[in-house]
Structure 1
Amino acid sequence: MTFTVTVEPSGRTFTATENETLLAAAIRQGIGLPYGCKDGACGSCKCRKISGVVTHGPHQSKALSADEEAAGLILTCCATAHSDVVIESRQVAEVGAFPIKKLPVRVLQLERAAPDVMIVRLQLPANDAFQYRAGQYIEFLLRDGTRRAYSIANAPHVQADVPMLELHIRHMPGGKFTDHVFGALKEKDILRIEGPFGSLYLREDANKPIILLASGTGFAPIKAIVQHLQHKGFTHPVWLYWGGRRPHDLYQDAWVRDAAATLPQLTYVPVVSDALPEDGWTGRTGFVHLAVLADHPDLSGFEVYASGAPVVVESARRDFTAAGLPAEAFYADAFTSEADKALG
């Protein structure tokens, strides 16, 4: 059977069958609901069900607790409709969202940026325009039918020079895809991708100061957003907080400092949590999201764009809303690994 799903307060509607999740149906019809992992692990797609009947597939309690579910919250990435449904979600993209496409890409360049970080540049087909927003991500389609998601680290306007996507991939030892990237993958290899996906993109009409929060390779979409800010001549104050365990985890620190020199309103705050004496680190220390709160104890007038490890994103969401940030002003992608998804 097919049911109608209404999204408030926008009033937009889409249809969903009882065999597909609300999120999959929304993506298929160009409705931009927020989401991250698409596997019930990160909680980015959580929203309130106003009416209707849904059932949840497997998901982690940290993404949706039993108490939250009893209070009417749902995860659209693993909820299926069994009646017409009305949900509340303020992050609905405008009509005319970019189409999701599958296409082949060629490995243009592999650059080791840190001991466990590879920058992979992918050449796009010259005759097949790929449109996306700065901050969105693509998924690799692997031969066994599985997928791996990575954020795009370059802004769309860069395509005018070279039709290319830049990705920042961290090595997860034992990980099927990242072992391949750090082992057998070579330039000129052909891969298949699908996208764009994700709701972590700049809301250009917000008129608010912005905080960009990244941990590790969560810097990738943040870099694309910074490039987009440069391109658009954005004038509102922007703070970029980038956290890593060791200084080498801030693998494009010099790039950020150069960008800050061209954007006077951009303040860059690197934060290291586990520096060793030999690192000679003299900058900020501790958890990166706590550095934000130390500098901005009242976040009620801000927008936040966050990307990185799930624990960082979840902690930031919780503590920032407690500091006055409106829930709808927190946009996030959590980099959920296969190991994270296996944890209950």
Structure 2
Amino acid sequence: MTMSCLTLPQPGRRIAVGDTRTILEAALDAGIAYPHSCRSGRCGACKSRLVSGHVELGKHSPFALSEREREDGLILACRAVPADDVVVEWLDDSFATAQPVMQDAEVVAIEAMTHDIVALRLQLADRQNFRFAAGQYLSLIMPGAPPRNYSMASRPDEELVELHVRAVPGGRTSGLIHASLEPGDTVLIQGPSGSTYLREAHGGPIIALAGGSGLAPVKSIVETALLSGLAQPIHVYFGVRAERDLYLVAHFRALERRFPNLRFVPVLSQTAAKGWRSGFVSDALTEDHRDFSGAKAYVAGPPAMVDAAISVLAARGVPASDIHADVFFTPEASDNNAA
């Protein structure tokens, strides 16, 4: 196997990379907290500068990396395989660099949120050593099932860590959680990870779009923003298929009454129901807003929903640097992303 040397000046590390490994895979395997989200060339979170050397760049979205950016020496770490020795710098200087830690966690409670989503509340063995930013995720590890990534729905200041787990058809990990996990059981977690987290220094409007269990990181982001005193307009769009897929509506309605800068909009895509808005969440966003000037967007959900939302935001002039997306793949589509 041909090996290349990957130099990362920001963490001050040099690592060997096999001829089929991407820069992101090599960095994460080496325990480096590299900014990333979708791992599939869709979101641009791992956009980096190729300082020297050459890479083979795999298929990716033109939104995540344009032809002009490629000409300017930018790459996507999740799609770039070194062709020789390379030096690479990531672009997101605000990246939360807390190193992932592995520890035990006790199941405190499991609560049904919908017909196929449960809220899993965990007491970590060493909560003080698990410092995450609102919007990040962890990897849940259980015997007899592959690790799966789940976003934190709880705020960073809360003692219990809350995850929202959707029952994926044929999914071994989510199946075990729904069918056999009980309060008092112990699981293993590793984290935090992910670069789709709240940028508290941003003063412009916040747009958050969630699909299904993608509401988990959005809940953490929105609650943290509000309780931190951020007073700019915060628009939350929650897209689901049918009324039975809705959850936490009363919770967000209560937040609306408490914080006048918050607006929460549930949208049903497949089944019209009295009292609910129907259509696609990305269409609802464009119907409600003509001007996205100065906005920062957080998007979490299934691939089709995230792609549509990113397209709408980009078409309305929101730069890629202000769109933070977390794509929730099912296990059949990816073994690496939150689902």
- TM-score, normalised to structure 1, is 0.84
Look up the match of 2:269: 273
Q: Distance in 2 between matches of 1:340 and 1:228?
A: 31
Listed as ranges, the gaps of 5+ residues in structure 2 are: none
The amino acid that maps onto 2:15 is: A
Matched, 1:252 2:254: no
Instruction: Tell me the alpha carbon deviations over residues 199-255 of structure 1, each in whole angstroms, 9 at most, x when there is no partner.
Output: 111111111111011111100001011221232111111111111111222211111
Q: Give the drift of 1:86.
A: 3.9
* Contact 1:41–1:341 (Cα < 8 Å) also in 2: no
CA RMSD between the two structures: 2.9
Partner-residue secondary structure (3-state), 2:334 = helix
Correspondence 1:313-332 to 2 at 5 A: 313-332=306-325
Instruction: Tell me the alpha carbon deviations over residues 273-323 of structure 1, each in whole angstroms, 9 at most, x when there is no partner.
Output: 1225xx43x232111012111112232321101111111111111221111
Q: 2:5 aligns with which of 2, 6, 10?
A: 2
* Contact 1:100–1:196 (Cα < 8 Å) also in 2: yes
Q: Distance in 2 between matches of 1:65 and 1:148?
A: 24
Q: Which moved more, 1:313-322 or 1:23-32?
A: 23-32
Change (3 A) 1:184 1:17: same
Look up the match of 2:291: 298
* Contact 1:113–1:251 (Cα < 8 Å) also in 2: yes
Instruction: Tell me the alpha carbon deviations over residues 2-30 of structure 1, each in whole angstroms, 9 at most, x when there is no partner.
Output: 33245xxxx77643322364224555565
Look up the match of 1:151: 151
Look up the match of 1:217: 213
Look up the match of 2:277: 284
Q: Give the drift of 1:166.
A: 0.5
Instruction: Tell me the alpha carbon deviations over residues 87-140 of structure 1, each in whole angstroms, 9 at most, x when there is no partner.
Output: 5x542335x722210001111111111111111111111575311111100001
Look up the match of 1:75: 76
Q: Distance in 2 between matches of 1:233 and 1:294?
A: 28
Change (3 A) 1:244 1:146: same
Partner-residue secondary structure (3-state), 2:221 = helix
Q: Distance in 2 between matches of 1:260 and 1:102?
A: 36
Instruction: Tell me the alpha carbon deviations over residues 256-285 of structure 1, each in whole angstroms, 9 at most, x when there is no partner.
Output: 111111111011111111225xx43x2321
Look up the match of 1:16: 15
Correspondence 1:51-90 to 2 at 5 A: 51-55=52-56, 74-81=75-82, 82-86=84-88, 89-90=90-91
Q: Distance in 1 between matches of 2:62 and 2:142?
A: 26
Look up the match of 2:327: 334
Change (3 A) 1:191 1:341: same
Q: Distance in 2 between matches of 1:32 and 1:262?
A: 37
The amino acid that maps onto 1:4 is: T
Kindly tell me the number of residue pairs found equivalent between the two proteins: 325
Change (3 A) 1:239 1:142: same
Q: Which moved more, 1:254-263 or 1:118-127?
A: 118-127
Look up the match of 1:228: 224
Q: Which moved more, 1:250-259 or 1:293-302?
A: 293-302
What percentage of aligned pairs have identical amino acids? 32
Correspondence 1:114-193 to 2 at 5 A: 114-125=114-125, 129-143=129-143, 146-159=146-159, 164-193=160-189
* Contact 1:137–1:149 (Cα < 8 Å) also in 2: yes
Partner-residue secondary structure (3-state), 1:325 = coil
Q: Give the drift of 1:167.
A: 0.6
* Contact 1:14–1:31 (Cα < 8 Å) also in 2: no
Q: Distance in 2 between matches of 1:60 and 1:75?
A: 10
Partner-residue secondary structure (3-state), 1:85 = strand
Q: Distance in 2 between matches of 1:323 and 1:333?
A: 20
Change (3 A) 1:12 1:128: closer
The amino acid that maps onto 1:226 is: V
Listed as ranges, the gaps of 5+ residues in structure 1 are: none
The amino acid that maps onto 2:305 is: V
* Contact 1:46–1:73 (Cα < 8 Å) also in 2: no
Look up the match of 1:312: 305
Matched, 1:264 2:260: yes
The amino acid that maps onto 1:2 is: C
Look up the match of 1:33: 35
Q: Give the drift of 1:186.
A: 1.3
- TM-score, normalised to structure 2, is 0.85
Look up the match of 1:238: 234
Partner-residue secondary structure (3-state), 1:341 = coil
